[in-house]
Chains A and B, each alone.
Chain A
Amino acid sequence: MSEPVIKCESVYKIFGENAETMLKEANGNVDAKTFQENGCIVGVNNASFEVSKGEMLVVMGLSGSGKSTLLRCISRLTDATGGKIFIEGQDLLNLNNKELIDLRRNKMGMVFQSFALLPHKTVVENIAFPLQIKGINTEDSINKAMDMVKLVGLDGRENYFPRELSGGQQQRVGIARSLAVEPDIWFLDEPFSALDPLIRKEMQDEFLRLQEKLQKTIMFITHDFDEALKLADRIAIMKDGIIEQLDTPANIVLNPATEYVRKFTEEVPREKVLLIEDVMDSTTTEDIGDLKVSKDEIIENVAEKILTQEKTVAVIDNNNNIVGSINPTKIINTVFGGRKNNN
């Protein structure tokens, strides 16, 4: 694997007047309570992780869990109090102002929860804004912005003002603006949280379509566990500034690391999250039927087929080799069983 695009090494963000001295004295052992008694609030507590190229890391947490703060540290909208952050090998915290601006102008794009569009500019001007800031002339930047307008499906509305658009449309503008400079790294801070459920689902699908096409390195913030499961390659679950667990959606559902994480996974419909691969037996029995299912299928999609079988079903990989088997009772156990037993 090549070098990670984003790399964090014990990042801390602590708000308060003498945050830095307190962090030094704490010696890597930060306790939120003691800090709070001394007038400091711990935003991010010892966050270490890597995001590799083309990967989508979803950071999930309830409000106040420090997920947005973590994102702002990595985009350096606020300066981290301690730790190291590397963006493509560059030490982010040691960049001077000019280098930082260069980095943002060329490598980073960000989408905001409240859209954060400029009220005095039209759709196309909003999208062209980062390009113009960069110094690209009006005509080129408008042309490029028009491509973006088409990409997010807002053709015909390019001369509207943000106030004339619906929430979903405004966020499309926000997405287009963040993509205008063709960044490698894409930050999304609860981009769909302000939208109503139907639009949210539509935007999630749209987002997946875009990502398939663009293959950006993504950090996506959300407080919606379902959204995280739907989109993520890996999920980081945060609580009180600490990353409780960082893993693939399936592993989080199957092996929650802490009690807190387990509470989230309880209500999750497993058949919608888990793949056949996650629940199959890697040993093959002799008593195997004719039906074969791919190991990459989501359980929900093949459950009906498997349940109508009496025999164990063979599981195959992309090359049609049998890699394991799955018994219909296993499906029933996964979907209905496990949850009750845990309680």
Chain B
Amino acid sequence: MELFKKYPKLFQWIFLLIVFFALCFAIDVPETYKFIRGQAEFVKDPNQSTFVFLGKEVRYYAFDVFWRLPPLLGWLPIWINDSLFFLMNDWMPMEFWNEDTQEYKTRPLVLQITRNLTAFMTFLIELIREILLGGLETIVAFTSWDWIDANPWAELPGLPWTIVAAGSAILAYKLGGRGLAIFAGLAMTYISIFGQWKPSMQTLSFILVAAPLSFIFGLSLGIAAFKSKRVEKALYPILLVMQTMPQYAVLVPALVLFGVGDHAAVIITMIVAVPPMILLTLLGLRAVPPEVIEAGRMSGCNNWQLMFKVLIPTARRDILIGVNQVIMVCFSMAVISAFIGAKGLGFNLLLALNQLNIGLALEAGLCISLIAILLDKMSLAWANKQVDYFGNLNFFQRNKNSLFFGLIMILGIALAYFGSIYFKDGYNYLFEVPHNKGISTADFWNKGVDWIFDTFFVYIKAFNTWLIVEVLQPMRALYLRMPAIATIVLVVGAGYLIGGTRSALVVCGLTLFIALSPWWDRALVTTYMATFGVIVSCIIGFTVGTLCFQNKHSTKFMLNVCDIFQTFPSFVYLIPVMMLFGITDTSVLIAVIVYATIPATRYTIEGLRSVPSGLHDAATMSGVTKFQRLFKIEFPLAFPHMMLGLNQTIVFALFMVIIGAFIGTEDLGQYILKALSDKKGAGIGLTLGICVAFIGLIFDNLIRTWVDKRKKHLGID
């Protein structure tokens, strides 16, 4: 009884677990239940039950409601899909003037809007692409094909790679100094020499359109949310869901609305990249000291002046960190949107992975990562750069970078011209090294992969079999064995114990949505894979983080490693694991573990670092040993921050599990991938995406509530 009074929470948790397990044992697996594989549910089966809601027929296998809830939300994807089609094809037809045919044409409003948007995006992408690579689409957009035929000279020639490489080096120098400049120059040269110039520039042009547009939208929405509580309240749930929504899932509805190609990819990228920009803008504006705002007001600023002359410049750094985030999202989308036909490195990567040509995939992946790291470092350097005073510099000093670029421009053109004479019959290597005509290391890597397989096949296979048979299969079976009602009780109970009624209700709503969707089993499989990944990642991350923290240099080194790894687009992680483990669940899980270990490590280090140095000194003066300090002082105080790391780890793991569908899994991700090639997949894809997002949000809600309470308790913020 005394123990009970001392640790009331502990006993509540034990009680919850007892109830959970009691339910698990009390509810038997129905005899007819089996995990449905593949496309089975598209087959009509007389054993299935049906119900009709809003005119949509839903078929499902009925079980005891304690075991599996009926998919009462099964009509939702169908309904979303039909509404989308109705909007696109039948809603509000209007007369529109068509330039090409010179006549009015009847078209539904939404279709017209999306087509115009599409045309606009295409124009922007082509413009930048042709500045970098040459072409005639842009000129045609202003004139006509006939005009181009008559004036063949008007084609945009594109920039020689030497100019782009030197230009990026100069920009890097201006932003981040010599080191960054050398890196920029080398990276661009590497890309050119190894024959990846064209796809790289295609990817770059995609990013140069998507990133600024996302920035503008994110900034304006962030400002709107800052100005008006109502806008913020309306945006908040969307932002929350978007943060945990797998990027895959957005592809499907966009496919319906905008079709296939770079333009659709840009629009999707914006949808994904705008939320973090909004959040960081809001954060930055909120962080402006109130006295600075008051100083602005007392200087007589009107609202406009206050925003653009006081608030935004003061919040500059946070806003530019937002730009950095946007660029990173753009890169991961550059690969993912290859699924809907965006050109560039991502497309090549996907193609190579599909053909199991690991060498080619590695080359493309390396180029993406190089550009990603370069742009990441450049935007960070921009954010951290302090403004300098230029007032007392002369004309040359002020404009040296532009002057230098002008010089490079002339030099580059001269070189390209010289090249055109020198390489008369072959390719002009000084202008552009054609795709796959540079040095290629693909064969080397492929041979390496073969060698690894030949040498280690037995061991890898043995490990693989052991992991799957001994660990993964039983774990999956356990997850699937949970009756729906037991799971809901467990989750809701946890919500109540951590955050009270409010938390319990939120969590209950999120879980019910998944339970009432037709994909509860898939969601369990997704959760099982994510759980496995998260557990291993956390063990690795917390250990590595704690070890590295013991030394200043290793701390810094590890944070840098985390930075670089985080810059890689998530897809790139699939290459080495496929190289080593082939197409198995193990590959997916290892990719998940590698990817999710990054936040686990980073947050451990940051958490430990955030322990105030005064406490260190106080502890040392009390005569603690290193271990005592770690376990009595540092861990308890760093724990809330480490839990936020766990939160991030879960989100990262979920993302990777979903992307792992590409290798072949049986979870929600696989269904999203299927929806991509399904004509009526939009609704399914979106609902599946929401399911995944909700899994993430359940954990997010529980962890955040706990962390907030704990932080308040410890008095840290």
**Residues of A participating in the B interface, judged by any CB pair closer than 8 Å:** 72, 75, 77, 97, 101-102, 104-106, 108-110, 112-122, 129-130, 133-134, 159, 161, 163, 174, 177-178, 181, 187
Contacts and interface: CB of A to CB of B under 8 A. Distances in A.
B303 to A, nearest CB: 9
A45 B301 CA distance: 29
B564 to A, nearest CB: 30
Given A118-B314, A159-B392, A161-B386, A77 B289 contact: no
28 contacts: A77-B294, A77-B297, A101-B300, A102-B300, A104-B297, A104-B299, A108-B298, A110-B295, A112-B291, A112-B294, A115-B291, A116-B291, A116-B295, A117-B295, A118-B292, A118-B313, A118-B314, A120-B313, A121-B313, A129-B299, A130-B300, A133-B299, A159-B389, A159-B392, A177-B295, A177-B299, A178-B298, A187-B298
Contacts of A122: 389, 391
B106 interface: no
Given A112-B291, A114-B291, A119 B314 contact: yes
Given A116-B292, A133-B309, A77 B387 contact: no
A109 B295 CA distance: 9
Contacts of A97: 302
Contacts of B316: 120
Nearest to B302: A101
Closest 8 CB pairs of A and B: A105-B300, A116-B295, A130-B299, A116-B291, A110-B298, A104-B300, A120-B313, A112-B291
Contacts of A112: 291, 294-295
A219 to B, nearest CB: 13
A109 B300 CA distance: 10
A161 B300 contact: no
B310 interface: yes
Contacts of A177: 295, 299
Contacts of B309: 129, 133
B305 interface: yes
From DSSP, what is the main secondary structure of chain B's interface residues? Answer: helix
A75 B298 contact: yes
B391 A120 contact: no
A106 B391 CA distance: 29
A97 B304 CA distance: 13
Interface in B386-414: 386-387, 389, 391-392
A134 B292 contact: no
Contact of A110 (B294, B305, B392): B294
B305 A159 contact: no
Given A114-B291, A116-B295, A133 B314 contact: no
Nearest to B303: A97
Contact of B391 (A104, A129, A159): A159
Interface string B480-495: 0000000000000000
A116 B289 contact: yes
Contacts of A163: 386
Contacts of A104: 297-300
Contact of A134 (B295, B300, B313): B300
A121 B305 CA distance: 15
Nearest to A98: B302
Most chain A beta carbons < 10 A, residue from B291, B305, B391, B392: B291
B227 to A, nearest CB: 15
Interface in B306-334: 309-310, 313-314, 316
Interface in B244-299: 289, 291-292, 294-295, 297-299
A112 B298 CA distance: 11
B291 A113 contact: yes
B300 A120 contact: no
B386 to A, nearest CB: 7
Contacts of A134: 300
Nearest to A78: B294
Nearest to A174: B295
Nearest to B294: A77
Given A114-B289, A159-B391, 10 more contacts: A97-B302, A104-B299, A105-B300, A116-B294, A117-B295, A120-B314, A129-B299, A159-B389, A177-B299, A187-B298
A261 to B, nearest CB: 29
B347 to A, nearest CB: 41
B389 A133 contact: no
A105 B291 CA distance: 17
A77 B299 CA distance: 12
Nearest to A132: B309
Contacts of B305: 133
A163 B314 CA distance: 13
Contacts of A102: 300
Contacts of B295: 110, 112, 116-118, 174, 177
Nearest to A120: B313
B710 to A, nearest CB: 27
Contacts of B299: 104-105, 129-130, 133, 177
Interface in B604-647: none
Contacts of A159: 389, 391-392
Nearest to B293: A116
B244 to A, nearest CB: 33
Interface string B56-99: 00000000000000000000000000000000000000000000
Contacts of B314: 118-120
B316 to A, nearest CB: 6
Contacts of A117: 292, 295
Contacts of B391: 122, 159
A187 B292 CA distance: 15
Contacts of B291: 112-116
B128 to A, nearest CB: 30
Nearest to A160: B389
A160 B297 CA distance: 24
B9 to A, nearest CB: 31
A133 B298 CA distance: 11
Given A118-B314, A159-B389, A161-B386, A133 B301 contact: yes
A161 B289 contact: no
A105 B292 CA distance: 16
A75 B294 CA distance: 10
B306 to A, nearest CB: 9
A76 to B, nearest CB: 9
Nearest to B392: A159
Contacts of A110: 294-295, 298
Contacts of B302: 97, 101
